Amino acid sequence: MTAQNSATAGTAIAVDTGRPSARRRGPGSGVVLAGLGVLAFSLTFPSTVWGLESFGPWSLVALRSVLAALIAGCALLAGRVPVPERRHWAGLAVVAGGVVVGFPLLTSLALRTSTSSHAAVVVGLLPLTTALLSALRTGSRPPRAFWAAALAGAAVVIAFTVQQSGGELSGGDLYLFGALLVCAAGYTEGGRLAGVMPGWQVIGWALVLTLPLAVAGAVVALPFEPVRLTAHGIIGLVWVAAGSTFLGLYVWYRGMAEIGVPRASQLQLAQPLLTLVWSFLVLGEEVSGAAPVAAVAVLVCIAVTQRAGSRGIRRTEADSRVGS
């Protein structure tokens, strides 16, 4: 009887040990989801420029947050999602402060004086910053090849975007560097939370958390900033709210939960180049002939980080199984 009880306990332990790795059984789907998030994010700067045609920066961020929070709230109510445990609210506050309020506000202020293509320099440093914060926050240790490729990719993107902007720093660069830090913190904490709750609930509750502040901000900002409604302005507002803030972050956090924050963050090396394409097509900004060269170099760096990161994850899971 004792032997049977021991066997039963051993089986239960084996099942429980396998559960955390279930999220990583389909790394391909995680890469696709995170890639869709990057595609959505790449439209954020051009859409913000359009939105600023109709609204001031403070009004745009407030209305963007209100609209996104209403969408998220309806989704949470429709799904009858229970309120997160108290221990998760601090992390949700970091997500809200970083990606819902901080990044949109700081980049909107920067885009008053910076072009969309110049602002892409922020995204050039964001993957490396996110990977560093993730390593510090979660204790993940990607291999050296990952860090070498990440540094190389960041260097390529920075060199290209600075060359694209004529090598000059704009007055909005302080806003951009601040946006870089708060966004990386929000991505890192959101990726961690997406391991314990669905990604859409992470961004959904973060948006709901900011709704009172967003409504107050809209009430204060709208009377002081002129509103000139245009088709571009409305489309820009709707996209940054529904596309970038809700849908983009939903697939982004879900992808990070499947492949890990460091690997997902490096997919964003492609974001500045995509932003430059959209800036050319949508805003008519000029793009240099070096874009194809930079694109190929970035794709190589992304491939190396994904391969190295995948090996690191497999080694970590193997060590975990041996320890168990």
According to the model, what pLDDT value does residue 209 have?
A: 92
Residue 183 has pLDDT above 70, yes or no: yes
Residue 53 has pLDDT above 70, yes or no: yes
Give Cα separations from 29 to 16, 34, 36, 194, 307 (angstroms). Answer: 23, 9, 11, 15, 15
Instruction: Enumerate residues 6+ apart whose C-beta is below 8 A from 13.
Output: 324
The letter for the amino acid at 259 is: I
pLDDT one-digit tens code per residue, 248-280? 888 888 888 888 777 777 787 788 778 878 888
pTM above threshold 0.75: no
Task: Identify whether the C-beta of residue 45 lies closer than 8 Å to the C-beta of residue 121.
Answer: no
Instruction: State the alpha helices, DSSP H only, in the chain.
Output: 2-18, 27-42, 44-51, 57-78, 89-95, 103-110, 116-138, 144-164, 173-193, 199-221, 231-238, 249-259, 261-266, 271-278, 291-323
Calculate mean pLDDT across residues 112-128. Answer: 72
Nearest to 155 by CA among 307, 275, 286, 272: 272
pLDDT one-digit tens code per residue, 65-89? 999 999 999 999 998 999 988 899 9
Calculate mean pLDDT across residues 290-308. Answer: 71
